[in-house]
């Protein structure tokens, strides 16, 4: 029996969870700065019961939004 009580436990990977969250936020709020998406996705995945580092969320969100937002790929600003 699985004791995993996290929300959305059917995701294959943490990147898939981040991708789902960032797409949801980007669909609703398309004109926000990158750090806004990073913070909100980070908060969202933690509320779902996942422990993913802020740096991992930042890198993954930047990867998924690289063609949709204008930001520096080195400092993420």
Say if pTM beats, i.e. exceeds, 0.85. Answer: no
Residue 2 has pLDDT above 50, yes or no: no
Tens of pLDDT along 64-74?
A: 999 999 888 77
- For 8: left if phi > 0, alpha if psi spans -120 to 50, otherwise beta; the answer is left
How many CA atoms lie within 13 Å of 31's alpha carbon, on the beta-carbon side? 0
pLDDT at 7 over 80: no
pLDDT tens figures, 16-58: 999 999 999 999 999 999 999 999 999 999 998 999 999 999 9
Question: Which pLDDT score, from 0 to 100, does residue 1 have?
Answer: 40
Confidence of residue 4 (pLDDT cuts 50, 70, 90): low
Nearest to 28 by CA among 13, 16, 14, 44: 44
Give dist(CA 76, CA 58) in Å, integer: 8
Q: Where are the domains of the chain?
A: 14-65
């Amino acid at each position: 029996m699985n004791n995993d009580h996290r929300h959305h436990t059917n995701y294959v990977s943490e990147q898939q969870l981040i991708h789902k969250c960032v797409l949801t936020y980007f669909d609703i709020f398309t004109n926000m700065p990158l750090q806004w998406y990073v913070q909100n996705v980070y908060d969202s995945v933690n509320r779902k019961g996942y422990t993913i580092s802020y740096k991992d969320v930042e890198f993954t969100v930047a990867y998924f939004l690289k063609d949709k937002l204008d930001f520096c790929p080195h400092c993420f600003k």
